[in-house]
Amino acid sequence: MATAIATAKALRRSLLLRHTSAVVRHLNSSPSSLSAAPPLSLGHTLPEPEFTPPPPHASAALLQLDDHRQLFGSLPASKLIHASLVLQASAAEAVVDLGTRIMTSRLAELEPFRGIVYGVVRRTFYEHFCAGETTSAAAEKVREVNAAGLRAMLDFAVEYTADNDACDRNLEGFLDTVDCAISLPPSSVSFVVVKITAITPLSLLQRMSDLLRWQQSNPSFHLPWRNQQTSIPIFSKSTPLYHTQTEPPHLTEQELHDLRLAAQRLHKLCLRCSQSNLPLMVDAEDTKLQPAIDHMAYSAAVEHNTGSTPVVYNTIQAYLKDAKERLVLAARAADEMGLAMGIKLVRGAYMSSERRIASRLGFESPVHDTIGETHACYDDCARFMIDRVGSGSDGLVLATHNAESGRLAARRAREVGVEQQGRIEFAQLYGMAESLSMGLKNAGFRVSKYMPFGPIDVVMPYLIRRAEENRGMLSTSGLDRELMRRELKRRVKAAIFSNSNGQE
C-alpha cells in the first residue's frame, strides 16, 4: 500500500510539472510560433487542431470566436491557468487512459489510496467540469456563470439506480435542485436536468425498452401500460430493433408497481418545475435504454406541455441514423395533440459502446458512419426545429461544441427572427467550449452551461463516462486552449510593460 501511495504522489507531481512547463512554454513563445506549439508530451496524444479564424461567410460576422480579450478578458488569471492545464490533460489520451484505469481500479476503493485519488480528481477534473458537491456550492457557481452573462442547466448528477429506495432519495435530490434554482436570481437557471435512470430502476427500463421494441416490430402485441392513442412516436421505420430478438415476457405485477412509482416521481418533479416556471430537461442514454426513456419523457410532455411553452424537454441524439425521422414524427404528433414541443438536440455520447454492441450482435451500427454525416444530421435537425420555433410555441436547446453548427444555427435563428424570443437556448458543458459560449452570448443569444453537481463519489461515474465516451470532444478543445494561451500571454506582456514603465 505504501508503494501504491508513493506511486500516486509521484504521478501527480509529474503531471503537474509537465503541465506547468507546457503553459510556461506557451506563454514565452513568439506570436509566430504560438499556433504551432506542440501538444503536451505524455505518450500518445490525439492531434491538436490548430487555431484558425472563422471562415468569412455570411454567418461569420454574427459569431466572432477569434478575439481572446473579448472572450476571456473577464476571467482571473488563476482560472485561465487552471483551465488550460485541465483541458491540456483532458486532450491527452494517455492521461485519460491512466486516469480512468486508476479511478476504476480496486485500489480506488481502499483507504488511504481512495482519499488520494479523490483528492487529485477533486482539485483537477472535478473542479473544472463540475459545479460542486452540494446545492449551495452549485448555487455559487451559477452566480459566477451568470455574472459572465451565461445561464445554468443544473444537473444533480446521479444515475443508474437499482431499487425504489435509491430512486426516492434521488427524487429528493432533484426536488432540492429545483428549490435551489428558484432561490437564485431570476432567469439565472434555464433548466433543471433529470436522468430517468436515477428515478427508475435500471432493470425496469431495460424490460420496458425490450417490450416497446417488440411491439414496434409486432403491432398486434399489446402493452396495457402504454396508451398508443395519446402517445408520441418513439421509433421510426429505420430505427434498429436488434437489442430485442425474441419476444419478452410482459411486466410482472412488481414491475408494474415499480413503473407506477417511477411515473409518480417524474410527475411530482414535473409539477414542481411547472409551478416554479422552470422547464425540465430529460437526458438521453444509449439505445438499449432510450425507448423506455422516450416513452416516459413524452408521456410527461403529453400531460404537462399543454400551455404556450413546453415544461418537459426530451433529448434527440443526432449521431443516430434515425434521429431526423424520429424528430419529425414526434413533432407531427405533438402538432396533432396541440402540444408545445420541447427538444434538446445533441450529437451523442455513446458512439463507442453503440458500435461495439451492434458489431457483437452482427448488425449495422445505429450511429452515422462518418462525423460529417453526424454534423449534417445535427444541422438539418437544428434548422427543422428553429423553423418550428419561428412559427409556433416549441422550445429548442442546441447543445453543441461545434463552432460551425453554432454559426449556422445562429444565422438561421436570426433569419427567422427568433433569437430574442427566449425559446432558443444554446448550451455547452461546464468547463468546455468557453469561446463558443461567450461568442454566442456576445452575439445576443441565450447561452447555458450544463452544470453537473453532487458528492464526488456520486459524480465519479459521470466523470468516467465523459472521459471514456468523449475523447474526441475533449481533444477538440484546441480553440479554447489557444485563445486562453493568447490571453495569458497578453497579460504577461502587459504586466512586464507596466512594470518597466514603473521602474523608469
Encode pLDDT of 243-262 as tens digits.
999 999 999 999 999 999 99
How confident is the model over 135-145, as a mean pLDDT? 95
Q: Which pLDDT does position 205 carry in this prediction?
A: 98
Q: Which pLDDT does position 259 carry in this prediction?
A: 98
Quick check: 116 pLDDT over 80? yes
Quick check: 109 pLDDT over 80? no
Residue 101: pLDDT band by 50, 70, 90 thresholds? confident
Sketch the domain layout of the chain as residue ranges. 1-130+469-493, 131-453
Kindly report the average pLDDT of the chain as a whole number: 82
Q: Mention every residue, 6+ apart, whose C-beta is less than 8 A from residue 239.
A: 216, 322, 325, 326
Q: Which of 64-78, 147-161, 486-500 has the lowest mean pLDDT?
A: 64-78
User: 129, 145, 63: which is closest to 435 by C-alpha?
Assistant: 63
Quick check: 495 pLDDT over 90? no
How confident is the model over 403-409, as a mean pLDDT? 93
Task: State pLDDT tens for residues 11-21.
Answer: 444 444 444 44
Quick check: 22 pLDDT over 70? no
Cβ(321)–Cβ(366) under 8 Å? yes
Residue 466: pLDDT band by 50, 70, 90 thresholds? low
Q: Mention every residue, 6+ apart, whose C-beta is less than 8 A from residue 283.
A: 155, 193, 194, 195, 196, 315
Quick check: 45 pLDDT over 70? no
Quick check: 46 pLDDT over 90? no
How confident is the model over 197-225, as a mean pLDDT? 96
Q: Which pLDDT does position 391 carry in this prediction?
A: 87
- Look at strands 446-453 and 151-156 and give their pairing: parallel
Quick check: 308 pLDDT over 90? no
Q: Which pLDDT does position 342 carry in this prediction?
A: 96
How confident is the model over 68-82, as a mean pLDDT? 68
Q: Which pLDDT does position 291 carry in this prediction?
A: 97
Q: Which pLDDT does position 114 carry in this prediction?
A: 75
Q: Which pLDDT does position 69 carry in this prediction?
A: 65
Q: Which pLDDT does position 336 carry in this prediction?
A: 94
Quick check: 382 pLDDT over 60? yes
Residue 420: pLDDT band by 50, 70, 90 thresholds? low
DSSP assignment, residue 367? B
Quick check: 373 pLDDT over 90? yes
SS3 48: coil
Residue 89: pLDDT band by 50, 70, 90 thresholds? low
Residue 477: pLDDT band by 50, 70, 90 thresholds? low
Going from the C-alpha of 502 to that of each of 92, 443, 488, 495, 498, the distances in angstroms are 41, 38, 21, 10, 6
Quick check: 279 pLDDT over 50? yes
How confident is the model over 320-333, as a mean pLDDT? 97
Quick check: 297 pLDDT over 90? yes
Q: Domain 131-453 is of which CATH architecture?
A: Alpha-Beta Barrel (3.20)
The angle subtended at Cα 231 by Cα 324 and Cα 289, nearest 5°, is 65
**Contacts for 93-99 with beta carbons within 8 Å, 24 or more apart?**
93/43, 93/44, 93/45, 93/46, 93/471, 93/475, 94/42, 94/43, 94/44, 94/45, 95/15, 95/42, 96/467, 96/468, 96/471, 96/474, 98/11, 99/125, 99/467
Q: Which pLDDT does position 120 carry in this prediction?
A: 80
